[in-house]
Structure 1
Amino acid sequence: MKVNRDGLRQWVNFIAILAAFGINVWANIAPWRGLTMGEISTTFFPNVLIIPANYAFAIWGLIYLGLISLAIYQVLPTQSNNPRLRQMGYYLAISSLSQIIWVFLFQSQLFALSVMAMVGILVPLILLYLKLGINLTNLPSSQRWLINFPISIYFAWISVATIVNVASALEIADWSGWGISPPVWTAIMMVVGAIIAVIVIWQRRDSIYGGVFVWALVAIAFRQGQNPTLAVIAGVLAGLLVIIISISKKAKARRKRI
């Protein structure tokens, strides 16, 4: 029997995205170990300074709104032969499966292993972002909103989450930080994150990706209200990213007019 490869890809991605969404909802409504994701973070990582304020995690609502919209769009019969969706392959399915594994590991308080699962989410998203050439070509608005936007925002937040996850795992492992104080390490990690955002913003003119980092840095500044130095550093980095995003958008508009 001949397998419909396009149909298989469509439904695997569709089911995987919905399954990851369902597991994330379950983990925050009826966690099997009794603690929600936020409660685990508050309980085990009160000293991890790079964790954003709790409100920042509301971005998951927007992420899954985008991903579910993408899941529905790509599963439509009319999109089975869409060459761009064919390029998407199973990368989102792999990321979604890794997301499910990450939830179980994090809920089980296996924080070092959860970093490996987080990398399992991040790497397919990097490959997908590069393969689809996000923001490198002009596309119909439907593809910009239903393909580029969901992938950019998901990729950006997982980039942030990977930094936070690594910092949390090192905290649990009682890492000494090579004698460098936690506030200094936090500042270093924020600068590294901002540099990554600048590279993506400038190379791809991706204001969505950069905007997610602004969101995270502002939330870090709010959480560090009792630590003025870190709050100011986070605020300044967020402000610089806003300026770079603005310059990038103007450069993109100018290039379109030429």
Structure 2
Amino acid sequence: MKQSTKALDRDKLRQFLNLAAILAAFGINVWANIAPLNGLTIGAISNTFFREVLIVPANYAFAIWGLIYLGLLSFGVYQVLPAQAQNPSLRRMGYLLVVACLAQIAWVFVFQYQWFTLSLLAMLGILLPLLGVYRRLGIGTNRVSRLEKWLIHIPLSIYLAWISVATIVNVALTLYSLGWNGWGIDSQLWTAIALVAGGAIAAIVTMGHRDIAFVLVFVWAFVAIAVRQANIFLIATTAAGLAIALILFLVFSILRRQNSRLPSP
């Protein structure tokens, strides 16, 4: 009985910390836009200091944070319900999302104070725990109820996908801030290479997980990059081409999966 009580207490602590971390990350994000630290919002820093970085998406792309936090808040409320205290999937997730949210808060502070190298480290502090969550929950591979899919898997998948895109962008911003010259290779070519690398990540996830939400986030980002860099042929065509290719690849993967489930004649 004592061991069962301790396990229940640990579950309650995990539930509370997950919800608290999500609320804290959301609150800091709102605060950073309403009353920006160091006088500049994240968007203003991006548009001022990094307007020449070609992989930054159009401003409208960052509206996805509204969807991300809506999903995370829905997840936070769902997982804190008494009925979910002993949910084995949530137990496997542990405190990884808490770590990611704390790193998210740290990223806001260091980026707004323009410590861009530290911002990359903070971004990795978000990415790596989210990768652990993705693997532990088996998102895209483990079968779950429709409710768990919409309140657990999809919100966390969208969050991971956007952080994956943001990490690629953050690498480019950090290198630019350090004055890296690209070893003499044209910045447009480096940007195209980075886009292809991002597309490869999304394609691998599609093959292994058939995760629609994850792939569509990359499509959203690529379209936004193509829109922002519409006057640069190489980048616009690469980004738009990758977006189209990912959609076609996703449709092909879904159809192949459905066909594999059909009974043999």
User: Same fold judged by TM-score > 0.5?
Assistant: yes
Q: Does 1:238 align with 2:236?
A: no
Q: 2:213 aligns with which of 181, 185, 208?
A: 208
Matches of 2:70 and 2:174, distance apart in 1: 29
Matches of 1:118 and 1:171, distance apart in 2: 16
Q: Indicate the residue corresponding to 1:176 in structure 2.
A: 181
* Aligned 8 A contact 2:161 2:214 in 1: yes
Q: Does 1:32 align with 2:63?
A: no
TM-score w.r.t. length of structure 1 = 0.98
Aligned partner letter, 1:205: R
Matches of 2:147 and 2:162, distance apart in 1: 22
Matches of 2:258 and 2:153, distance apart in 1: 18
Q: Indicate the residue corresponding to 1:255 in structure 2.
A: 260
- The residue correspondences of 1:214-233 to structure 2 (distance < 5 A) are 214-233=219-238
Q: Does 1:84 align with 2:80?
A: no
Q: Indicate the residue corresponding to 2:140 in structure 1.
A: 135
Matches of 2:44 and 2:214, distance apart in 1: 27
Q: CA deviation at 1:176?
A: 1.1
Q: Does 1:69 align with 2:86?
A: no
Instruction: Output one character per residue of 1:112-150: Cα deviation in whole Å (capped at 9) or x when no partner.
Output: 000000000000011110111111122110010011101
Q: CA deviation at 1:49?
A: 0.2
Matches of 1:257 and 1:71, distance apart in 2: 37
Matches of 1:166 and 1:174, distance apart in 2: 13
Q: Indicate the residue corresponding to 2:169 in structure 1.
A: 164
Q: Indicate the residue corresponding to 1:114 in structure 2.
A: 119
- SS state at 1:134 partner: coil
More off after superposition, 5-14 vs 222-231: 222-231
Q: 2:51 aligns with which of 27, 46, 50?
A: 46
Instruction: Output one character per residue of 1:129-185: Cα deviation in whole Å (capped at 9) or x when no partner.
Output: 011111112211001001110111000000000000010010010001111111000
* Aligned 8 A contact 2:140 2:211 in 1: yes
Matches of 1:253 and 1:152, distance apart in 2: 22
Q: CA deviation at 1:46?
A: 0.8
Q: Does 1:191 align with 2:196?
A: yes
Q: Indicate the residue corresponding to 2:62 in structure 1.
A: 57
Matches of 1:16 and 1:252, distance apart in 2: 37
Matches of 1:8 and 1:140, distance apart in 2: 25
Gaps of 5+ in 1: none
Q: CA deviation at 1:32?
A: 2.0
- SS state at 2:38 partner: coil
Matches of 2:237 and 2:37, distance apart in 1: 38
* Aligned 8 A contact 2:37 2:109 in 1: no
Q: CA deviation at 1:226?
A: 1.5
Q: CA deviation at 1:229?
A: 2.0
- SS state at 1:135 partner: coil
More off after superposition, 4-13 vs 245-254: 245-254
Q: Percent identity?
A: 55
Instruction: Output one character per residue of 1:64-97: Cα deviation in whole Å (capped at 9) or x when no partner.
Output: 1110000000000111011111111001100000
- The residue correspondences of 1:4-23 to structure 2 (distance < 5 A) are 4-23=9-28
